[in-house]
Chain A
Amino acid sequence: MLHNKKAQIPETLTWVPAALIIVLILAVTIIATIVLFRTSSFSRDSRTINVHYSSDLFAEKSLASYFLTTDNGETVYSELNSAGDFNNFNGNLAKNIFTLLYHSEYPGGVYLGFYNPNSLLTIENNQYFGSAPSLGAQSGLTGTVYIRQDINELIYLDKNKFLHLILAGGFL
């Protein structure tokens, strides 16, 4: 049939208008969609998006300044690096900064402490922050998994020790 030019004429006459109509319908659909739903104003029905932040710029800035704070001419970072533990000055400073500035945003708990990858008890308790809050997800009664907004940062001190900042948020 393809070799028969006369037979192709009615086929063409069918599909050209059909294609045009299809394009027309799609165009009308798109235009109708734009016209009907172009409003960007928020209403009572608006939905919010829960974003799972994996870092917290404000906490990181606080942490950087905390490390650079000097105590008797020595930075907190070098104090922590050499002593491997908090002293009265940098422990209380850390507790003040991270607990008071971030506790309300992270109801799951705020923790700054030491992490030793070679130790069985990898996350150590300390007198300023106590024990580290648990991280990750939680299962619901019906098997639903709730993801928590946690910030979990490891800061290298030396090959055997890291400083571990945990900001445990609420469940999404």
Chain B
Amino acid sequence: MNKRAVKTVLSLFWFLLLFIVAFAVVYIVSIFYGSPYDVRQIEAHTMSDQIADCVASQGYINSSVFTQDFRNNFLADCHLNFNTEDIYDWKNSTQYYTEVKIYMYDPNSFNLLGQQVFNVSEGNINLKLAWQLSLVPKAPSQGSSLASSITSIFSPSRKVNTIVIHTTEGSTAAGAIETISNRALSVHYMIDRNGDIYSSENPPAQFADAFVPEKTVASHAGCGEGSSQLPYCTLSSGCIDSSPVSSNGILDTKCQQLTGSIPKSQWCCIPGFNTNSIGIELVNLGEQCTNINGGFCANAVSLGGYKWENFSNSPDQMNSLVNLVANIALRYNIPVDRSHIIGHYQITTYKTDPGPDFPWDKFLSAVKVREAEMTQQTGVIAADTHLPQGVLRSFYALDNNGEKYIVQVLTIVRKTEKNVA
């Protein structure tokens, strides 16, 4: 081989080496940046800190916070701008939501929250609901991987096929949670009047045992134990006529209208509903309105000498219930009908919740629509990373008169390719 040929071969070798290096650079970059880092949680934390600093400093809530001017210029006053990034049409569909609520300090409340005295929010309100759903646990893994097999040995998954809706028969979530805990009962979810969803993900300190995760059987729809155990319903027992149990194994819906007048000697219960159901409590006075006038019972629904709280009092609660039930039904493949989404009264004859005012037809229609929307929004259920990341934090603060408050700051960041309307 002559000298020129050697040079040519060497040149080719060096260029080949250069291409290999270039390919390696692309490959390494792809490893690091091919799947981007999700820093939304950190961003939400940073935003929370910014807002907390804006609301209170040196131990006191800034005096301007309670003014209308602060409400109107909340973002500007806190030096926040939601429109700095303009890709994927984010400017037209805000990717942030933030909310500041100030409550009176109440040492008797499970979360110290007394009366709400201030509220301001900015951004895309739909993100709040999506974030709440992101706190809902995922359905048990159906995969056959070793990890899921090991997990299933230690926490056997159960087949969930029913959703039972209750009312707390009380005016506040705090009181209801305490009652559930004290009576050694448990539930999977509780929805407050303002739409907030409580679950085992964020249980209150003293009453952590009131909530259990979805994979665990809760004690919310049982027939009691020992001397207080109710007899099981048969075709000849129960409520309206000789066939109280409908063909699908639950009490006939007509029972509800008469349960209050059923003598205790005839009370009965259908066993086994705890095993395969998810229990959702709605903060609502329910039948307690029979003995209460005014307040939440002002527009109570009357039937057969009894009165129930009107669900029109809490539209945000109903909205959250629709979304939560649609989410659960979709994940567990539960049919959205009156055989699978039932009221507590359909299990135990002396129970009436959620009451005759509960708009079953309208509710189930809304759940079906929401379920369809969730299915279309590729990713809302299947790819959880499309759900927004949020931070809800609280701090104790004083005003200039020394009054005690709890300041609650919620910040949510979505910033995914797929937009929320």
**Chains A and B belong together in one complex:** yes
Residues of A within 8 A of B (CB): 14, 18, 21-22, 25-26, 28-29, 32-33, 36-37, 39-49, 51, 53, 57-59, 61-62, 64-70, 92-93, 96-97, 99-101, 103-105
- A65 → chain B closest CB, angstroms: 4
A residues less than 8 Å from B202 (CB atoms): 104
Q: For B11, B29, B418, which residue has the most chain A Cβ atoms within 10 angstroms? A: B29
B398 within 8 A of A: yes
> Does B398 contact A65, Cβ atoms closer than 8 Å?
yes
Give 21 pairs: A residue, B residue, CB < 8 Å, sorted on A.
A18-B11, A25-B19, A25-B22, A29-B22, A33-B30, A39-B36, A41-B88, A43-B36, A46-B36, A46-B38, A49-B38, A51-B45, A58-B394, A58-B395, A61-B59, A61-B395, A61-B397, A65-B396, A65-B404, A69-B398, A96-B112
Known: A62-B396, A101-B396, A104-B202. A68 touches B19 (CB 8 A): no
For residue B383, which residues in chain A have a CB less than 8 angstroms away from its CB? Answer: 43-44
- Shortest beta-carbon distance from A99 to chain B in Å: 6
Q: Determine whether B220 belongs to the interface, using a CB cutoff of 8 Å to chain A.
A: no
Q: Which B residues contact A (CB, under 8 angstroms)?
A: 11, 15, 18-19, 22, 25-26, 29-30, 33-42, 45, 48-49, 52-53, 56, 58-60, 87-88, 107, 110-112, 202-205, 383-386, 393-398, 402, 404, 406, 409, 415-418
Complex Cα gap A62–B59 (Å): 7
- Per DSSP, chain A at the interface is helix
Docked complex Cα distance between A47 and B18 (Å): 31
- Among candidates A25, A28, A32, A68, residue contacting B398 with C-beta atoms closer than 8 Å: A68
Q: Are B26 and A33 in contact (CB under 8 A)?
A: yes
Chain B residues, Cβ within 8 Å of A37: 29-30, 33-34
Q: Return B403 CB to nearest CB of chain A, in Å.
A: 10
The answer to whether B52 touches A61, judged by C-beta atoms less than 8 angstroms apart, is yes
**In the bound complex, do residue A46 and residue B385 qualify as a contact, i.e. CB atoms below 8 Å apart?**
yes
A43 touches B402 (CB 8 A): no
- The CA of A57 and the CA of B53, in the complex, are separated in Å by 8
Distance between A170 CB and nearest chain B CB, rounded to angstroms: 14
Judge whether B107 and A96 touch: CB under 8 Å. Answer: yes
Q: How many Å lie between the Cα of A23 and that of B406 in the bound state?
A: 60
Residue of B nearest to A33 (CB): B29
